Structure 1
Amino acid sequence: MLTVQIVLFDGFDLLDALAPYEVFCAAAMMSNDALEVKLVTAEGARAVASGTQGLPIEAAGKLDPNRAGIILVPGAAGDVESDGPDSVPAILARTANTKLTGMIREALGRKDIIVSTVCGGSLVLAMGGLLEGRRAVTHHLGMEVLGATGVLPVKARVVDDGNLVSGGGVTSGLDVALHLVERELGPRIAHAIEELFEYERRGIAWRAQGMVPNSEKTETDKESNLVLSTEAVNPPSPPLQNTSGHTESVFDGEWDVTIATPVGKMDVKLSIATSHGEVRGTATQGDETVKFMSPVIQGNKLTWSQQVTKPMRLNLKFDVTVDGDELHGTAKAGVLPASRVAGKRLKSTFQQ
């Protein structure tokens, strides 16, 4: 018997979870109970408050990441315009920071389990660092964020990447479930459900099969770590020199920085050095140190990209300015609200 486990979490979207639930229940009815479907949580049996006016749904048990079959993770329902604790990004990030992430990681390591997602469910997994390098889709508002986590976004209704099957916006839960029914039980059962529901799937499920379209044959742009000249915009200021005579920038030194994200503050140590017209930097958070990607200085403005893993896995784009020993600016990931960045220089490596 095929087991389907639909995972609920506080703030989950009702339609993301219950539309597939009904499809799988219909599949069980039409196949003489060839499958069973359960509502579960990472913690165990409990009433789970949905993100739709807190409507509670009862989960019958605990997710078993070692049980063969299908695991489905829905997205969240909440505020899509603010960056407060009830916003969709905040709910997804909180979920990614629970033990659910470890359980899904375990499930993805098994050959007899398909992990599926609907809408923001793929973002939960991506924010937990589980989908880097994988093909997936989410709600159209979250596609930039999905890409910022290292996922390869595909603009399709359903993306079938082997043991990972993801769906786009909220109503794609019907399409994901029907695709999985067809894949596991066959097209006749899936077609019978479509007739019963008077619903026809939209679009083609994307798979990494067949010829590759020319539009997908692109090369990654390479950017150099150059300090751009701003003489055409502002008069040049006298260069800052260190004791060895190498030209440096106003950003050089050690910085204590705080990033105020919608899901909590991040304390980061920045180390920035410029030599012979090239800027390099690292960011340290806890025991993890990462290098700046594509840093560019223009006068007192510095931009760069950086991957973070806490409080979620994201590729952030920084845009900051310096005023003496203070640093201010923003960090942004896709369409997520910009996070405020502020810091103070702890140690300078240059002299005027």
Structure 2
Amino acid sequence: MFAQVVLFDGFDPLDAIGPYETLLAGGMRAELVTAEGPREVESGIGISLRATARLDPERDGLVLVPGAAAREEDEILVLLAKAATTLAEPMRRALDRRGLTVATVCGGSLALAMAGLLGGRTATTNHLGLEVLASYGVTAVPARIVVDGDLVTASGVTSGVDLGLWLVERESGSRKAFEVEQVFAHERRGTVWSAA
């Protein structure tokens, strides 16, 4: 599977790199992308990463949207609203595409909800944002990972590694996911809740 990890100004580095590195360790290919194309992207806490390609919603595999980080908590929703504007069109196309899974970590689901893309779906986000997520017509579930068909969302910032492991298990089996757990010295935790 090929994974596109979406960066935007103000992204949370752990939300992006946790699943990115987990997917790579699981034998998948991954690339950092933006809606605009290759560029340096500054996180909300001053760490920059280089996106090497433009987000391609027509490509099979996985598109993963991280949440935002900021030095002041009240800035996070502002950053997510800006990301929602930038990502609305390509992520609408991604969610409409068969053969493509959309995943989010932490506030990534809030950005998609703010863009009007998750109404009527089931998702999770950081526990602090569950009420905001629900205000956009999303059935907000306080689980570690929520699976709603081709939409897979993970709750808090550290859940990105668990999300990556769940995706490795789905694609390559439990033995491979267990190998990655051993390499990372990380034991998955929390509930994987399914809308099905």
CA distance in 1, matches of 2:44, 2:72: 12
Which structure has the highest helix share of the two?
2
1:119 aligns with 2:125: no
CA distance in 1, matches of 2:134, 2:83: 19
1:269-303 Cα distance to aligned partner (Å, 9 max, x none): xxxxxxxxxxxxxxxxxxxxxxxxxxxxxxxxxxx
1:167 aligns with 2:159: no
1:69 aligns with 2:61: yes
Within a 5 Å distance, the mapping from 1:35-50 to structure 2 comes to 35-50=28-43
- Structure 2 residue matching 1:97: 3-state secondary structure: helix
8 A Cα contact 2:44 2:71, kept in partner: no
1:93 aligns with 2:92: no
TM-score by length of 1: 0.55
8 A Cα contact 2:106 2:126, kept in partner: yes
1:133 aligns with 2:131: no
1:47, distance to aligned residue in structure 2 (A): 0.3
1:81, distance to aligned residue in structure 2 (A): 4.1
Give 1:317's aligned residue: none
Task: Look up the equivalent residue of 1:67 and give its one-letter code.
Answer: R
Task: Look up the equivalent residue of 1:89 and give its one-letter code.
Answer: L
1:195 aligns with 2:182: yes
CA distance in 1, matches of 2:21, 2:118: 27
CA distance in 1, matches of 2:146, 2:135: 18
Give 1:17's aligned residue: 16
Task: Look up the equivalent residue of 1:152 and give its one-letter code.
Answer: T
CA distance in 2, matches of 1:7, 1:175: 18
Give 2:47's aligned residue: 55
Q: What 5-or-longer segments of structure 1 have no aligned partner?
A: 29-34, 210-352
CA distance in 2, matches of 1:103, 1:137: 21
Which structure has the highest strand share of the two?
1
- Structure 2 residue matching 1:19: 3-state secondary structure: helix
> Which of 1 and 2 has greater Rg?
1
Task: Look up the equivalent residue of 1:91 and give its one-letter code.
Answer: L
CA distance in 2, matches of 1:184, 1:37: 14
CA distance in 1, matches of 2:83, 2:61: 22
- Structure 1 residue matching 2:146: 3-state secondary structure: strand
1:79, distance to aligned residue in structure 2 (A): 4.2
CA distance in 1, matches of 2:66, 2:52: 17
The one of 40, 48, 70 aligned to 1:78: 70
Task: Look up the equivalent residue of 1:178 and give its one-letter code.
Answer: L
The alignment of Structure 1 onto Structure 2 pairs a total of residues equal to 196
Identify the structure with bigger relative contact order (alpha carbons < 8 Å, sequence gap 6+).
Answer: 2
Give 1:156's aligned residue: 143
- Structure 2 residue matching 1:76: 3-state secondary structure: coil
TM-score by length of 2: 0.97
CA distance in 2, matches of 1:161, 1:79: 32
CA distance in 2, matches of 1:65, 1:130: 14
CA distance in 2, matches of 1:170, 1:90: 18
1:208, distance to aligned residue in structure 2 (A): 2.4
1:204, distance to aligned residue in structure 2 (A): 2.3
CA distance in 1, matches of 2:149, 2:180: 23
Task: Look up the equivalent residue of 1:43 and give its one-letter code.
Answer: E
CA distance in 1, matches of 2:73, 2:41: 24
1:146, distance to aligned residue in structure 2 (A): 0.2
Task: Look up the equivalent residue of 2:12 and give its one-letter code.
Answer: D
1:25, distance to aligned residue in structure 2 (A): 1.2
* Pairwise CA RMSD: 1.0
- Structure 2 residue matching 1:40: 3-state secondary structure: strand
Identity of aligned residues (%): 54
The one of 96, 100, 104 aligned to 1:109: 96
